[in-house]
Structure 1
């Protein structure tokens, strides 16, 4: 059974001072990773990662997850390698296929069906591995040698078959999870499902049975790799309360109306109860689903903080 790891994400950057304070508070709570999503209107991932690492002593930094169709693999390799060097090898690279059509439209990037986006994800992973492992661009060899320049490569050799930082692949659908089963060091389960017939990016929260089926699906694909691969879950909501059943009923009558109160209590994507009850839920869900890497949205970072101490 894997030990727990904990991460939280940033969705905004009010100021440099606020970023530093938040990172240091998270490190005080015992969080292991500061994460940045990749959405228009939000902060630039790699700039935030370097700043978060600079503000802390040990906390790792990562993306959860990059929208791969936004990135050219060669330019992405440069960003990853630079960030890994500047953070002394603390980067974890999370990749996904993208899901918000409006972002593609706003950026002038072609929106393609899910299959081609998943294929692009796999091709990007393969190309990054080649770039991390391979020799420098031959066109730069003479310049580098003449100037005594250092070749730009990641510090870490933990992912991409030993040529780069650890690889996290996040998603819910079969095609992305097949890619995750083949390449990822960590499979990240977000817990949100596209509602059929609705515009892209219209989601509902999954229930416990759906989560368990996704874990079984990935496990069946990984074979012997299963024991080596970490499972991560993105908790969509944390509510510290002395009456978790009343809170579940409130949520079922409002923001989570697509689930029953009982389903809300059981889904691994929601945590309700006292700090002690939440700690118990995480232990139970690690047993059932294999989730040992627990991530929360930034708004829930402080709520989950005391639970980390209970589990260590």
Structure 2
């Protein structure tokens, strides 16, 4: 896909009114999607998505991404189908293997090795497809017939082999990218990698070369369907400035030179620093180099990126 889409993550909100106003502001700016993450300490994803769709006219809504080990597939299928119906078929379902051990500990969910979590992701994708494809549970056929009730199924027929909402799979490991290449409509490359030798959840910014290799790896696993995949980037930082170099050096002092040297910040496809024109040009260069056509920023950068979204639309005509 070559068209560009822009979206933002809901990190939190103080009141319903604040949330609704932010969604409507994003729609006015020209954003395409509002995403909810799946972490402890922030709002639960599915109620957020239903409320966002209700507050807006055209914004799509999605999860970026669900922490699959938190979910039972049958119960998740119910949540997904309900949300897709209530949002009028505007849902995009993002799934991931999970990486923050402390959340598992706090939730009382056993922390498993990465291989087991990746297997759980693959199994969940398969089970959701099976559940979306069936016409309700056979145990309820008589009840549905007596009450003239439809089976609960997603409205959309795009993802999961044509029986559910578009599927997003995000990650950087070989195993997750294999799953993404095989089954996802959108492959998301987060841009941050597990720091080697550090506790789970300790992340570092990936280099452009690493990102390019990860996209290529997923595309190879996708085979003939690679040209139908939408490639997604989660942008970690957006800073409007007239002096890119000075700003990058300032950010390095804040975050630590070992993890974020200025050269990496200026070259990374997941960091936008500069004037509106410079950032818009970087977005377009990233499409040429990596294939990224779908961008998400964290909530605090919603307003900062808005001028870039507008400029990219102007350039694209």
Matches within 5 A, 1:75-90: 75-90=75-90
Equivalence for 1:61: 61
Matches within 5 A, 1:144-293: 144-255=144-255, 257=257, 258-293=259-294
Please give the per-residue CA displacement for 1:110-154, whole angstroms capped at 9, x wherever unaligned. Answer: 100000100000000000000001121111111000011111000
Tell me, yes or no, if structure 1 residue 303 matches structure 2 residue 308.
no
Please give the per-residue CA displacement for 1:46-91, whole angstroms capped at 9, x wherever unaligned. Answer: 0000000000000000000000000000000000000000010000
Task: Name the CA distance, whole Å, in 1 between partners of 2:144 and 2:73.
Answer: 22
Q: TM-score, normalised by structure 1?
A: 0.98
Task: Name the CA distance, whole Å, in 1 between partners of 2:13 and 2:296.
Answer: 19
Shift of 1:256: 5.0
Task: Name the CA distance, whole Å, in 2 between partners of 1:290 and 1:271.
Answer: 17
Task: Name the CA distance, whole Å, in 1 between partners of 2:252 and 2:19.
Answer: 34
- Structure 2: runs of 5 or more not aligned: none
Shift of 1:259: 3.0
Please give the per-residue CA displacement for 1:157-199, whole angstroms capped at 9, x wherever unaligned. Answer: 0100000000000111111111000100000011111112211
Equivalence for 2:37: 37
Task: Name the CA distance, whole Å, in 1 between partners of 2:207 and 2:83.
Answer: 36
Q: Report the secondary structure of 1:296's partner residue.
A: strand
Q: Report the secondary structure of 1:311's partner residue.
A: helix
Moved segments of 4+, more than 6 Å: none
Asked if the contact 1:207/1:264 (under 8 Å) is kept, the reply is: no
Asked if the contact 2:23/2:55 (under 8 Å) is kept, the reply is: yes
Q: Report the secondary structure of 2:294's partner residue.
A: strand
Shift of 1:310: 0.9
Shift of 1:260: 2.3
Equivalence for 1:294: 295
Q: Report the secondary structure of 2:61's partner residue.
A: strand
Q: Report the secondary structure of 2:234's partner residue.
A: strand
Equivalence for 2:72: 72
Shift of 1:13: 2.4
Aligned residues: 312
Asked if the contact 2:208/2:269 (under 8 Å) is kept, the reply is: yes
Task: Name the CA distance, whole Å, in 1 between partners of 2:51 and 2:197.
Answer: 41
Point out the more displaced range, 281-290 or 252-261: 252-261
Task: Name the CA distance, whole Å, in 2 between partners of 1:53 and 1:234.
Answer: 21
Equivalence for 1:93: 93
Task: Name the CA distance, whole Å, in 1 between partners of 2:309 and 2:268.
Answer: 20
Shift of 1:11: 1.3
Q: Report the secondary structure of 1:84's partner residue.
A: helix
Asked if the contact 2:135/2:153 (under 8 Å) is kept, the reply is: no
Task: Name the CA distance, whole Å, in 2 between partners of 1:140 and 1:108.
Answer: 33
Q: Report the secondary structure of 1:247's partner residue.
A: helix
Tell me, yes or no, if structure 1 residue 18 matches structure 2 residue 13.
no
Task: Name the CA distance, whole Å, in 1 between partners of 2:28 and 2:255.
Answer: 32
- Structure 1: runs of 5 or more not aligned: none
Asked if the contact 1:194/1:201 (under 8 Å) is kept, the reply is: yes
